[in-house]
Chains A and B, each alone.
Chain A
């Protein structure tokens, strides 16, 4: 089968598993809506747009982290990663498919979260939506690679945030920057981040899943 065919087969499997188990997406939706509700009541009146957008990005990054923490649960608990690694596919197809699945969960959570943000705070503009879309790609490509690394660790729930959050700082900086009026420059920054880190993750996934 072709590379694209392998990625489609694996991504379909991940989406089917979530559809059956319903373990990740509901938790992400509840978390992000609860976070925005808390921020809505916690932020003092007149806090301004920057504070509200900052809160949105914090909520989105931690929602993504929730999904990434569960990305390889089925493979870990049932040892299926070994079977996938042995299959004669390019191993990066596993990463690409998992990134697509996590991206789908994140976008689904944002379909609820962004209107909720618009309702609670100052509305939503095109630059913010574009920044969220670009940030999602970066979060999922980097986060999936790190999720595969963390899955082999004993304290995996601790390891993933430790690895992921420092690498997510540029995403938050780019996202907030694009959201508060300096759109094009920061959108370009996010696109560059996506391209570089997607390439690094794609090229290095093989070394992450074979024990050394």
Chain B
């Protein structure tokens, strides 16, 4: 599902990583660990198709099958939760998007706040909305960069539920706190 050979990334003279080989089969769970600034986010952005490697070969599924969760929820603060999800549902061509949006808003505990602007949401609510946005098109590969950061207790429980529910999909998860997800990992990669 994800295959990389001799993957390298440099920013000018600065080497982020070099000679990385990665194989994550369908249904696999790659856990990426390491301290801040070690290159986890750079690698995840490459695996999500948001950045190009400096060198190496990379095989990824097509773009519509990849869901990416970053430190930020990647939603518009001046739109409502429903408007945000509707925007992305239309861009992804989600069938019966109106029902799908309503279903996800309820599933993520945002039904009551669906028509409120995101700028009025707590950080945890925003992250839950970000998670709902990613799951709109039912992606085959989920690339999660520090997914538990800024999630409240309810949000963390929802994310655990998502990881359980989506077992069988392919995951790449970066964290500097691996205890929460390491039992799920089938592969691991540690940055120094």
Contacts and interface: CB of A to CB of B under 8 A. Distances in A.
Interface of A: 1, 5-6, 9-10, 13, 16-17, 20-21, 74, 77-80, 82-89, 210-212
A169 B92 CA distance: 39
Nearest to B133: A83
Contacts of A78: 72-77
Nearest to A21: B78
Interface of B: 45, 48-52, 62-64, 66-68, 70-79, 83, 87-88, 90-93, 117, 133
B64 A13 contact: no
A156 to B, nearest CB: 18
Contacts of B133: 83
A8 to B, nearest CB: 9
A211 B76 contact: no
Contacts of A10: 87, 91
Contacts, number: 82
B85 to A, nearest CB: 11
A82 B74 contact: yes
Interface of B, helix, strand, loop or mixed by DSSP: loop
Nearest to A94: B91
A24 to B, nearest CB: 12
B50 A86 contact: yes
Interface of A, helix, strand, loop or mixed by DSSP: helix
B96 to A, nearest CB: 14
A79 B130 CA distance: 11
A86 B66 contact: yes
Contacts of A86: 48-50, 63, 66-68
Given A1-B90, A13-B87, A87-B88, A80 B48 contact: no
B117 to A, nearest CB: 8
A88 B87 contact: no
A41 to B, nearest CB: 38
Contact of B92 (A13, A20, A87, A212): A87
Nearest to B72: A79
A13 B77 CA distance: 12
Contacts of A1: 90-91, 93
A89 B137 CA distance: 13
A82 B78 CA distance: 17
Nearest to A83: B74
Given A17-B76, A21-B78, A88-B63, A82 B50 contact: yes
